[in-house]
Structure 1
Amino acid sequence: MTAVDGGDIDGFMESEGKNLRRGWTTGTCAAAASKAACQALLSGAFPATVEVSLPGGQRPSFVLAQEAKGDNFATAGIIKDAGDDPDVTHGALIVSTVRRGRSRTGITFRAGTGVGMITRPGLPLPPGEPAINPVPRKMISAAIAEVAGPDADLEVEISVPNGERLAEKTLNPRLGIVGGISILGTTGIVIPFSCSAWIHSIWRGIDVARAAGLTHIAGSTGSASEQAVAEHHSLPEIALIDMGDFVGGMLKYLRDNPVPQITIAGGVAKMTKLAQGMLDVHSKRGLADMEALAQIAAECGASDELAERISGSNTVAGAFNLASEAGIELGDRVASRAWSTAAKVLNSPEMALEILVFDRDGGLRGCAPFTPTSHSSDPAS
């Protein structure tokens, strides 16, 4: 459980007329647990509550869910509260065990049970390091300095019971982080439904692929399109980026961290939304414009009667089927327009972009071939 000094932090935010409660990152919880354990190691007593500083200057306080001490160690645990965000680590116990370290080694970090180890280059920390990210490390060190001073020599081991199971619901295994979850956070605060963890996973996936020397990656909107594009190009898992609905988030990162060949793969509905200029293709951001899709069908030779039926379709998949039954294939035209939307973000002759449109069975329904993404290029021209 947590307690917050309301004078320092507004614990709520408004979204679509609802008050959503903010939460705390695993990094914040690890810092608070480490400070409490350090205090117990040095004084013999655990604090009733423990307060830590966040990168933005806020100071939330926490109560301990677990405490133990023995010869040369103290352990404290805090239950992570992610607020109203659907975070996979909500409710997880974040445990820190602090021991005295060797002279002049400063603060050193270890991965305990349920915290992953990095095995591939390209992440913010090198292979062989525990997956405790740089900002959480700074937060933990600063929290410990408040009770032990800036020159303390201590070993900090972070554990998360059931962390290995939780990690199966994340992208850690694909990123080469084995054995558990990562200790994350850049602000210390979880913003409900910001999906920041997912977007950061997209970025780290690109980093890992680049570090491995890959020249072709594929971002997919879902598992069906990911499997289809992997088979289409015989791509290794490390080349596959689970971008979900965040096409724009992936492309903007690639603009500054380029890869020579990029494939965007998705189902007919999400690729139609991309074709209509949406870089976030989640249903909450808007539905596909069926009248615009009917106009594309007309450009492909659909009759007025068929265009009207497509305009009135309940789903994009249904509209595609109507067109296909009449011998009108929308896929390539949708792919071409989706390419134009995505290419405007990349805008680099050094990066060639491909769009693949798949149906729910993994069948290829449309393609815009690899073409350099400068504004002067267009796969349809």
Structure 2
Amino acid sequence: MVIDNNKDGKKLRSGYTTGTCAAAAAQAALKQLLELRKQKIHNLTPIIFPIHVVAVDLPQGGTVSIPIKSITVKGDIVTAEVIKDAGDDPDITNGTSICASVEILEANSLEILEHNNEIILLGGKGVGRVTKPGLSVPVGEPAINPVPRRMIIHEVKKLLPRGKGVKVTIAIPEGERLAKKTLNPRLGIVGGISILGTTGIVRPMSEEAYVDSLIPQIDQAAALGHSLIVLTPGGMGEKKAVELGMPREAVVQTSNFIGTMLKESAKRGIKGILLFGHIGKIIKVAGGIFHTHSKIADGRREILAAHAAMMGASPALIKEIMELNTIDASIELIKSHGLHEVYNTIARWASKRSLELLGEELKIGTVMYSLDGEIIGYDEEAVTLGRELGWQV
């Protein structure tokens, strides 16, 4: 599938979510199993009439054709394998095998004693298991999100004979290894990756998909009873916040999407937010820049120069600030001119801008640190929130 996104004048291909791939594998495995049962063929390898492609219904309408890499038979269980194609999106699961094993349950099976046509969906090797509350999947269940779960069940129901049930086990052989590159471990998803996707399609370079992977951190913090949270752009901030005594479960990574994560926190009823990050990110917020990737906007030197000027910096110092190679290089320069208070002022403005963005009644404080981890600026609300979060200021 080709979509309109362009990069360097080149059209980018969209791909398919892990949910779509799992649904395709489940459909192919059941279709093959029913065909073999119809022909009264058991444990036949290779299969005489293998299924090479299936059509999967998308949640928002339409269908996609998904290739099937392989189908294997072991006794009364058929396993189909799909290779995840993320198109031109830099998805870590691209090229990964996603498998579904299907076993028919007869009407008299104890596992479907309550009613016929039951579908039992399980997570196999490489599919994570949820161990903490606050996610869209209950604790103890395989990390197969609601939309992919519905897709898998829908594809199976289309084929399931009347009076029979089916057990479907989704597996991702490389899932446990891949999970180490995701947020799953800190979200309490153990043993593998999640089966994701709300549309069935992966959009190339999709920021929306990345943000969707960050938001569950807020839900989990709230579910664990945290009405005060820490928003930090990355791993360094999380580590620093925990070192200072703040609970890890209350620390939420935002990447560059500080504005979006502020809004999502407010939507979920969070009462207080401590913005905690490197000066290079937080200073942008003080200037009203809430997407902090350099491709969107910079302005770090300009913001620092403006605040320094308000505190009486000379034209010569402002010129030096504007010529700095990095914002960290400003720290010694500012100190040497006795203007260190400027960083506290910038922290106050970051909180002020954040409150203006939300227009809501909640508390926001800001803390900034340098590349070596030294805290260089914070506002009064940060001290109050920090203490409530366990920071011994």
**What's the TM-score, normalizing by structure 1?**
0.90
For residues 39-87 of structure 1, give each alpha carbon's deviation from its aligned partner in whole angstroms, at most 9, with x where no partner exists. Answer: 0111125422111011122322122222111322110011111111111
2 CA distance for matches of 1:276 and 1:244?
A: 18
Q: Please tell me whether residue 67 in structure 1 is matched to residue 71 in structure 2.
A: yes
What residue is the counterpart of 1:361 in the other structure?
372
State the AA in 2 paired with 1:31.
A
1:212 counterpart = 2:215:
no
Could you say what secondary structure the match of 1:354 adopts?
strand
Q: Deviations over 1:145-185 (max 9, x none)?
A: 23226875211111001201111111111111111000000
Structure 2 gap ranges (5+): 37-48, 106-110, 386-393
Distance 1:214 1:292, change over 3 A: closer
Residues 1:239 and 1:105: Cα distance change in structure 2 (over 3 Å): farther
Displacement, 1:250?
0.8
Q: Distance in 1 between matches of 2:6 and 2:373?
A: 39
Number of the residue aligned with 2:286: 275
Root-mean-square deviation (CA, aligned residues, Å) is 2.1
Q: Give the letter aligned to residue 86 of structure 2.
A: A
Q: Which residue of 2 aligns with 1:58?
A: 62
2:258 maps to which residue?
A: 247
Q: What is the correspondence of 1:227-246 to structure 2 with a 5 Å cutoff? A: 227-232=239-244, 234-246=245-257
Partner of residue 5, structure 1? none
Identify the match of residue 41 of structure 1 among 24, 28, 33: 33
* CA shift for structure 1 position 312: 2.2
Partners of 1:152 and 1:356 lie apart in 2 by 60
Check 1:58–1:325 CA distance in 2 against 1; reply closer, same or farther (3 A cut): farther
Q: Report the Cα distance in structure 1 between the residues aligned to 2:163 and 2:248, rounded to whole angstroms.
A: 43
Q: In 2 relative to 1, CA 141–70 (structure 1 residues): closer, same or farther, beyond 3 Å?
A: same
Task: Note if contact 1:13-1:22 (Cα within 8 Å) is conserved in structure 2.
Answer: no
The answer to which of 78-87 and 337-346 deviates more is: 337-346
Partner of 1:285: 296
Matched, 1:114 2:126: yes
Partner of 1:31: 23
Judge conservation of contact 1:83–1:192 (CA < 8 Å) in 2.
yes
Kindly report which structure 2 residues correspond to 1:159-238, keeping only aligned pairs within 5 A, or say none.
159-232=171-244, 234-238=245-249
Which residue is 1:261 aligned to? 272
Q: 1:151 to 1:288 in 2, by over 3 A?
A: farther
- Cα distance in 2 for partners of 1:151, 1:361 equals 65
Tell me, in whole angstroms, the C-alpha distance in 1 between the residues paired with 2:75 and 2:302: 72
Q: Identity across aligned pairs (percent)? A: 39
What amino acid is the match of 1:257? R
The aligned residue for residue 352 of structure 1 is: 363
How far apart, in 2, do the equivalents of 1:306 and 1:40 lie? 74
Q: Per-residue deviation at 1:324?
A: 2.2
In 1: Cα distance, 2:50 partner to 2:63 partner: 19
Conservation of the 8 A alpha-carbon contact between 2:227 and 2:269: no
Whole-angstrom CA distance in 1 between matches of 2:8 and 2:313: 39
Deviations 1:123-162 (CA, angstroms, capped at 9, x unpaired): 1121111111110011111212232268752111110012
Contact 1:11 1:22 in 2 (8 A): yes
Q: Retained in 1: the 8 A contact 2:280–2:300?
A: no
Distance 1:115 1:141 in 2: 17
1:13 aligns with 2:5: yes
For the residues of structure 1 that align with 2:53 and 2:157, how far apart are their CA atoms?
Answer: 17
Q: Tell me, which stretches of 5 or more residues in structure 1 are unaligned?
A: 1-8, 374-381
> Partner of 1:148: helix, strand, or coil?
coil
What is the CA–CA distance in structure 1 between the aligned matches of 2:309 and 2:370, rounded to whole Å?
21
Residue pair 1:99, 1:155 contacting (<8 A) in 2 also: yes
Give 1:16 shift.
6.3
Q: Which residue of the partner structure matches residue 46 of structure 2?
A: none
Asked if residue 316 in structure 1 is aligned to residue 327 in structure 2, the reply is: yes
User: Structure 1 residues 321, 110: CA separation in 2 closer, same or farther (over 3 Å shift)?
Assistant: same
**Alpha-carbon displacement from aligned partner over 1:267-310 (angstroms, at most 9, x marks no partner):** 11111111111111011112125233212111123111101111
CA distance in structure 1 between the partners assigned to 2:334 and 2:295 by the alignment: 26
Comparing 81-90 and 45-54, the one that deviates more: 45-54
**In the superposition, relative to structure 1, how do residues 151 and 208 fare at CA in structure 2: closer, same or farther (>3 Å)?**
farther
Partner letter of residue 142 of structure 1?
A: H
Q: Is the contact made by 2:69 and 2:81 (CA closer than 8 Å) also made in structure 1?
A: yes
Greater Cα shift, 70-79 or 340-349: 340-349
- Is 2:314 aligned against 1:303? yes
Q: 2:100 aligns with which of 88, 96, 99?
A: 96
Q: Aligned equivalents of 1:152 and 1:363: distance in 2?
A: 64
